[in-house]
Amino acid sequence: MGRYVARRLLQMIPVFIGSTLLIFCMMYALPGDPVRAMMGDQAYDPAVVASIKKELGLDQPLLQQYVNYMTGLFQGDFGTQIASQRPIADIISDAFPVTIRLTIFSFTFVTVVGIGLGIVAGLRPDTLRDRGLLTLTLFLVSMPSFVLGFLLQYLLAFKWSVTTPTVTDSTDFSQLFLPATVLASLSLAYVARLTRTSIAENLRSDYIRTAVAKGLPRRRIVGVHLMRNSLIPVVTFLGIEIGSLMTGAIVTEGIFNVRGIGIEIYEALSRREGATVVGIASLMVVIYLVASLIVDLLYAVLDPRIRYA
């Protein structure tokens, strides 16, 4: 187990370097010069543009810039944002907690409600409540998150005034409830359906029949025998979903004015702030990698037959 984890961690290094280099190259390949764009469409002085670029090292060749960036990164320096001249580390540490809060909130929501609904429906497949759930989730899957976002915002904030239309304080969980629900809705539908199918299927399997035949109490059959096996595909999905929830927050963050990394990365992209984009993206890469490692380790917990060497 320990060796497996160590090997996985070592594998992350080339993946990390490769992905950052890729993003770096992509940013470099995009047309448009960040320093020039900052000057806007009124008059400007080319000498100032050249001078700023020289100061930031943007006049150097791509590989040199990448090497400079990576050396800085290993010394804990994420670089400086071109326009605001603030350290990118500051910008990330401002925005990240917001998105993490939103993600944790909606992730908990997805897990608890999604699995709960899945169990409820899966234990009694093809009954009315099962079909009800299938219809509801179909509705959620086919609804783009911005439609749902605007709809809920309109109904809850304007029609019934139960909540504020936008998030003014991202530490306030009651304000985050609406964006988190919207963000969670799509994954919620998938999780519910996955759980439902998995449970319905395993319910008919031999080992459950054996357990029933042994006369085990229903609680134990469902809670231990059925759940453990049925949750493997769900956990796989949930692990990957952490990453998508974080990046997928872009639209939702926009609608509800949540100042997280979604907005940050969008703004940085349109201003060609290469260092900011790479900084945030590489953090996302790390989160993805760690999440998938945790998922793999959870397999062993759920299914003792799976062993790692």
Partner 1 sequence: MRGAKSAKWVAGAIVVALAATACGGGGDDEGKSKGSGPAGYVSIDVGEPQKPLIPADTNESNGSYVIQSLFTQLLDFDSKGDIVYTNAESVTTDDSKTWTVKLKKGWKFHNGEEVTSKSYIDAWNWYANIKNNQQNSFWFQDIKGYDDVHPEKGDPKAETMSGLKAVDDHTFTIELKYTMPYFNYKLGYTTWAPLPKVFYDDPKAFGQKPVGNGPYKFEKWDHKKLIQVKAWDEYQGPNKAKNKGVQFKAYTTLEAAYKDVVSGNLDMIRQVGPTDLPKYKQDLGDGAIEQPYAAIQTLTPAFYSKTFKDIDPKVLQGLSMAIDRDTITKTVLNNTRTPAKGFTPPGVKGNQNLDTDVFTYNPTKAKQLIKEGGGVPGNKFTVQYNTDGGHKEWVTAVCESIRKATGVDCTGDPKPDFATDLEARDNDQVKGMYRGGWVADYPVNANFMKELYHTTAEANNGRFSNKEIDGLMNKADNAKSLDASVKAFQEVEKKLVEHMPAIPLWYYRINGGHGKNVDNVNVDFHGDLEVWAVTTK
Are the C-beta atoms of 202 and 208 separated by less than 8 Å? yes
128 contributes a contact to partner 1 by CB under 8 A: no
For residue 198 the two structure tokens come to 């998995």
43 contributes a contact to partner 1 by CB under 8 A: yes
Are the C-beta atoms of 221 and 227 separated by less than 8 Å? no
Q: Which of 12, 21, 38, 73 binds partner 1 (CB under 8 A)?
A: 38
Looking at 166-273, list the stretches that DSSP marks H as alpha helix, in order from N- to C-terminal side.
Answer: 173-203, 206-214, 218-220, 227-256, 261-270
d(CA 125, CA 127): 6
d(CA 245, CA 237): 12
For residue 53 the two structure tokens come to 């670029």
Looking at 43-82, list the stretches that DSSP marks H as alpha helix, in order from N- to C-terminal side.
Answer: 46-56, 62-74
Binding mask 64-93 for partner 1 (x = CB under 8 A): -------------------xxxx---xx--
Q: Which of 2, 217, 304, 309 binds partner 1 (CB under 8 A)?
A: 217
For residue 280 the two structure tokens come to 């945030």
Site size toward partner 1 (CB under 8 A) is: 69
For residue 38 the two structure tokens come to 């900052």
Nearer to partner 1, 243 or 274 (CB): 274
CB of 247 to partner 1, least distance (A): 16
204 contributes a contact to partner 1 by CB under 8 A: no
42 contributes a contact to partner 1 by CB under 8 A: yes
Q: Which of 10, 168, 204, 215 binds partner 1 (CB under 8 A)?
A: 168
144 contributes a contact to partner 1 by CB under 8 A: no
Alpha-carbon distances of 253 from 13, 233, 257, rounded to whole Å: 31, 29, 5
CB of 204 to partner 1, least distance (A): 16
Are the C-beta atoms of 195 and 111 separated by less than 8 Å? no
263 contributes a contact to partner 1 by CB under 8 A: yes
Question: Residue numbers of the site for partner 1 (CB under 8 A)?
Answer: 30-34, 36-45, 47-48, 51-52, 55, 83-86, 90-91, 94-95, 109, 112-113, 116-117, 119-120, 123-124, 153, 156-158, 161-166, 168, 172-175, 177, 217-219, 221-223, 253-257, 259, 263, 270-272
